[in-house]
Chain A
Amino acid sequence: MSLFRSLVFTSVLVGLIVGAVVTLAQFLGTTPLILAAEVYETGDETESHDAGTVADTAHGHDAAASTEAHDHHNADAWAPADGIERTAYTLAANILTAIGFALVLNGLMQISGRQSDWRSGLIWGLCGFVVVMLAPGFGLHPELPGTPAAPLFERQVWWVGTALSTTAGLALLFFQRKPWAAAAAIVLIALPHVIGAPLPPDGEQALAPETMSHRFVVIATLTSLLFWALLGSLSGHLRRRREA
């Protein structure tokens, strides 16, 4: 059980650092774009991230009938207030996400049974970036609020399927040095994209301008690259110290 404890310890430490750094990067990069996109969203729809005011709630019925891009969060549900509270919840969510992914990455590094240092950790981290950002993002790019999209559950299924299939492909590439394995890996990596991501309904327009959406995709992808590069190399470095 001490091995599990040390995996948890490493992952929590890495998650705290990566979560904090990435929150800062988001604060400067993606969050301003999300807030700007919400202005378009709330201009057209009624829901907002402020705690639902009486006016919001009263208006909610019209919104349900109108041509919303997607019916999402219930206006009555609690949401953090804009400002410090919202940033604090984003920080908590980022730290938890980083701890979660660090547990997965460190667990897999452990199972592989290989020596680790910051460089091998970085490669593991970059594989995480491919699995969790690049591959799913190729079909379902990072979205600003107010972007039309297919039903949530279908997208979540495709997202998870793509991540699993890409993971299996990369594992075959790295751990099997046979031509058949390489061929199977290419098929596994390509398959979700051949099947295709669930598309938004025809004729629906994004609320925010195209250029803003494009900037969001680029910045979110770069932030994720930073997340995974740090997560992997820190994990590898800490594991090496433990193995030594």
Chain B
Amino acid sequence: MSVNTITASTSSAAGRIAPALLSVFFGLFIVGFVGFSPMDVVHNAAHDARHANAFPCH
């Protein structure tokens, strides 16, 4: 009984945290692409936003 309860609570915590972690990494990937990509084309497209957001630029 008590074993079941523990299993249930850990799996629900994991179910809550795994998608949240995925969201964090997905978000970091997008910010990294827009703000830190070394590609000239991406840099030029996002140029003004990069400067205004104080991402290291040029």
B46 within 8 A of A: yes
Task: List chain B residues, Cβ under 8 A from A66.
Answer: none
Number of A-B contacts (CB under 8 A): 155
CB pair A107 B58 closer than 8 Å: no
Binds B, one of A56-64, A93-101, A119-127, A180-188: A93-101
CB pair A99 B30 closer than 8 Å: yes
In the complex, which residues 56-76 of chain A have their Cβ closer than 8 Å to any Cβ of chain B?
70, 72-74
A237 within 8 A of B: no
In the complex, which residues 1-46 of chain A have their Cβ closer than 8 Å to any Cβ of chain B?
1, 3-4, 7-8, 11, 26, 30-31, 34
CB pair B30 A111 closer than 8 Å: no
A104-B28 in contact given A93-B49, A110-B16, A110-B20 (Cβ < 8 Å)? yes
A7-B48 in contact given A99-B30, A140-B56, A159-B55 (Cβ < 8 Å)? no
CA distance A160 to B41 in the complex (A): 22
B45 within 8 A of A: yes
B53 within 8 A of A: yes
CA distance A107 to B22 in the complex (A): 8
Tell me the minimal C-beta distance from A42 to chain B in angstroms: 14
Interface residues on B, range: 35 or more
Tell me the minimal C-beta distance from A204 to chain B in angstroms: 13
CB pair B58 A103 closer than 8 Å: no
CA distance A224 to B53 in the complex (A): 7
Residue ID in chain B nearest A220 by CB atoms: B52
Dominant SS at the A interface? helix
B57 within 8 A of A: yes
In the complex, which residues 69-96 of chain A have their Cβ closer than 8 Å to any Cβ of chain B?
70, 72-74, 77-80, 86, 89-90, 92-94, 96
- Top 9 A-B residue pairs of the complex, sorted by shortest distance between their CB atoms: A103-B27, A100-B30, A77-B40, A72-B58, A107-B23, A93-B46, A4-B19, A107-B24, A79-B44
* Sample of 10 more A-B contacts, CB < 8 Å, known A103-B24, A111-B17: A1-B19, A34-B48, A73-B44, A78-B40, A80-B45, A86-B48, A110-B16, A110-B23, A111-B16, A136-B54
